[in-house]
Amino acid sequence: MKKRIVIADDEPITRMDFSELLREAGYDVVGEASDGFDAVELCRELNPDLVLMDVKMPLLDGLKASKILAEENSSCSVVLITAYSGKEFIDQAKDAGVMGYIVKPIDEKSLIATIEVAIAKGDQFRKIQEKVVKTEEQLKSRKAIEKAKGILMRKYDLTEENAYNKIRKLSMDKRCAMGDIANAIILND
């Protein structure tokens, strides 16, 4: 499946050049924006794999737009394109959560290599985020089950094992997760 890219640059000719180059390299350019605000909106709407974004743009610059996307846990990686190579810009880019930073002028080989790495790192990052969310949900469920066991043990003078088995049996009978049964027991207490 082709990787989906949004291009954000205030210069129409630059957007056109990048779009042509990326399409020829086998990418699907799904959107173009002339400022950071529109880039954020396009990313929310289109959920691309990557946004190639200029730093200096009107309304909302690329650094601020990148920060918004990172804070929203947007699924797209960001590669910044800029003429600025000063340390303060690089530090701001690191704080904004971007996956790549390319200083103009840009050669095609460097651009494609950076895009490939940024997309791969973005995919890895998303998988880690999904695992964290799943682990947090499991922990929350486990805590609820422990609390519900305590309630059942106190209320019905059950052993810990019998309280656990009661929750498990209710879960199987009702065909729902043990965490849901545990939360019902907690609410009912």
Q: Tell me the C-alpha distance between 133 and 135, whole Å.
A: 5
pTM: 0.78
Residues 69 and 137 in one domain: no
**CATH code of the domain covering residue 42:** 3.40.50.2300
Domain contains 117: no
**CATH code of the domain covering residue 152:** 1.10.10.10
In whole angstroms, how large is the CA radius of gyration of the chain? 24
Residue at token pair 């797209």: 76
Is residue 73 scored above 80 in pLDDT? no
Range of the domain at 155: 133-188
pLDDT digits (tens, 9 = 90+) for 136-180: 999 999 999 999 999 999 999 999 999 999 999 999 999 999 999
For residue 10, name the pLDDT band (cuts at 50, 70, 90).
Answer: very high
Domain contains 65: yes
Q: Return the closest-CA partner of residue 99 out of 68, 73, 126, 122.
A: 122
Which DSSP string do the residues of 114-175 spell out, in sequence order?
A: HHHHHHHHHHHHHHHHHHHHHHHHHHHHHHHHHHHHHHHHHHH---HHHHHHHHHHHHHHHT
Q: Return the closest-CA partner of residue 52 out of 72, 27, 24, 73.
A: 27
- Dihedral (C-alpha) 28, 34, 83, 3: value to the nearest 10 degrees? -10
* 84 or 140, which is more confident: 140
pLDDT for residue 86: 86
Beta bridge partners of 51: 6, 78
Q: Tell me the C-alpha distance between 151 and 36, whole Å.
A: 53
pLDDT for residue 125: 87
Residues 69 and 158 in one domain: no
Domain contains 119: no
pLDDT for residue 34: 96
Is residue 18 scored above 80 in pLDDT? yes
Residues 38 and 98 in one domain: yes
Single out the residue in 106, 141, 169 at which a domain terminates: 106
Q: How many CA atoms lie within 13 A of 70 on its CB side?
A: 17
Domain contains 98: yes
